[in-house]
Amino acid sequence: MMNSLRARLIDGGTVTAVSCSKTHSFSKKNVAVIKLVKSMGVEGDAHFGKTVKHRSRVAQNPDQPNLRQVHLIHSELFEELGDKYDIFPGDLGENITTCGIDLLALPKDTILSIGATAVIQITGLRNPCAQLDHFQPGLMNAVLDRDDNGNLIRKAGIMAIVLESGEVRPGDNIRILLPPLPHKPLARV
C-alpha cells in the first residue's frame, strides 16, 4: 500500500525545524531529529500516546483517541507576526515547523509523507488558547482572524496522527496526498 501511496504524492514544502518536550511546557525545544511512531505520535513528547494527552481533554475523557499526536505550524506565520512578536520554531509548541505549504488550506484527512518513511494524516486545526497571551501578550488575537463571511480563522497550526513511523529532520521534503472529493474543511480538534 505504501508504494502506491508514494506514487500519488505531490511535492509540497520542507521541514524547517523539529521540536519535542517531555513535559507539558508551552514551548518545545528544537532538536536535530524526532521519531514519529505509528499510532502514537512523537517519541519522547508529552503528547505521545494512543489516547488524548492534552490536559483539558484528559479531564473531560481520558479514553478519547489522540487526534493531536503531531502539531505542525507553517513558518510563514512567524514572518506574518514578525513585526509585533518574536516567535521562532518550537515556541508555539509545534513538533514540526514547515515552509512552502499552506497547511491551513489543506482538507481534513490529507496525507503528508515526510522524509524517507514518516506518514501522517491531518485531523484538524489547533485551537488557540489563552496560553498564547502568557507567552507574549496579544498573541492569541494575532493568530485569529475572520474571512470575508465573518467565519473564524485559526492560524495556530494543524494537528495530525501518525500512520507510518519514521524520523523527521530539518530539510526533509514533505509530499502531499489529498483525500478523495468532496474535501472536508479543517475544524478544531
CA distance 33 to 52: 23
In this structure, are residues 145 and 155 in contact, taking their beta carbons and an 8 Å threshold? yes
- Residue bearing the bigger pLDDT, 10 or 80: 80
What's the pLDDT at 1? 47
User: CB neighbours (10 Å) of residue 131?
Assistant: 13
pTM across the whole model:
0.93
Side-chain-side CA neighbours of residue 135 (13 Å)? 22
* 57 confidence band (pLDDT: 50, 70, 90): confident
In this structure, are residues 89 and 30 in contact, taking their beta carbons and an 8 Å threshold? yes
Task: Output the nine-digit C-alpha cell for 52.
Answer: 488524548
Q: Is the confidence at residue 68, as pLDDT, over 60? A: yes
Q: Span 54-71, mean pLDDT?
A: 86
The helix or strand, by DSSP H or E, that contains position 80, with its residue range, turns out to be helix 75-81
* 20 confidence band (pLDDT: 50, 70, 90): very high
Q: Span 54-83, mean pLDDT?
A: 89
| The CATH homologous superfamily of the domain defined by 2-177 | PK beta-barrel domain-like (2.40.33.20)
pLDDT, tens only, 125-162: 999 988 999 999 999 999 999 999 999 999 999 999 99
- Give the position of cell 505521545: 48
Look at the chain and count its residues: 189
In this structure, are residues 58 and 49 in contact, taking their beta carbons and an 8 Å threshold? no
